[in-house]
Chains A and B, each alone.
Chain A
Amino acid sequence: MSDTDIQADETVDARGAACPGPLMDLIGKIKDVEAGTVVELLTGDEGSKNDVPEWVEEANHELLDIVDEGDYYAIYVKKT
Chain B
Amino acid sequence: MTTRIVIVGGGSGGTITANRLVEELDAEVSADEVEVTIVTDDPNHVYKPLFLYVPFGETELSQTSRPLVDLVDHRVNLVYERVTEIDTDGKSVATGAGSEMDYDYLVVATGAIPQPEETPGLGEDGPGHHFYGPEAAADLRDALADFDEGHLVLSVIGTPHVCPAAPVEFPMIAEEWFRERGVREDIEITYTYPIQRLHGVRPTAEWMVPRFEDRGIDSETFFNVESVEDGTIETLEGKELDFDLLVGVPEFTASPLIQEAGLGEEWMEVDRHTLESDHAEDVYGIGDVTNIPTSKAGSVAHYASGTLVSRIASEVRGHQPTATFDGKTICFIEAGTEEGTFIEFAYDREPVVRDENRFLHWSKLGYNEAYWLTARGVM
Chain A residues in contact with chain B, CB under 8 A?
14, 16-21, 23-25, 27-28, 30-31, 47, 51, 54-55, 58-60
Contacts and interface: CB of A to CB of B under 8 A. Distances in A.
Contacts of B237: 58-60
A41 to B, nearest CB: 13
B159 A19 contact: no
Interface stretch (B88-96, B170-178, B182-190, B193-201): B193-201
Contacts of A54: 196, 222
Contacts of B327: 18
B38 to A, nearest CB: 29
4 smallest beta-carbon distances between A and B, as pairs = A20-B200, A16-B293, A17-B293, A24-B159
Contacts of A18: 201, 293-294, 327, 345, 347
Contacts of A51: 195-196
Nearest to A24: B159
Nearest to B238: A60
Interface in B198-215: 200-202
A51 B345 CA distance: 22
Interface of B: 159-161, 164, 194-196, 200-202, 222, 224, 236-238, 272, 293-295, 327, 329, 345, 347
Counting chain A CB atoms within 10 Å of each CB, which of B201, B202, B293, B327 scores highest? B293
Counting chain B CB atoms within 10 Å of each CB, which of A17, A47, A54, A60 scores highest? A17
A31 B294 CA distance: 22
Contacts of B329: 19
B219 to A, nearest CB: 15
A57 B261 CA distance: 39
A59 B164 contact: no
A18 to B, nearest CB: 5
Counting chain B CB atoms within 10 Å of each CB, which of A16, A20, A25 scores highest? A20
B195 A16 contact: no
Contact of A19 (B196, B222, B224, B294): B294
Nearest to B120: A31
B349 to A, nearest CB: 9
9 contacts: A19-B200, A20-B160, A20-B195, A24-B195, A24-B200, A31-B236, A54-B196, A58-B237, A59-B222
Contacts of A25: 159
B164 A19 contact: yes
A60 B236 CA distance: 9
Contacts of B236: 27, 30-31, 59
A19 B295 contact: yes
A59 B223 CA distance: 9
A54 B202 CA distance: 16
A59 B224 contact: yes
A25 B294 CA distance: 13
B195 A23 contact: yes
Nearest to B235: A59
A23 B347 CA distance: 17
Given A51-B196, A54-B222, A58-B222, 6 more contacts: A19-B329, A25-B159, A28-B159, A47-B202, A55-B196, A59-B237
B164 A20 contact: yes
Contacts of B201: 18-19
Nearest to A18: B293
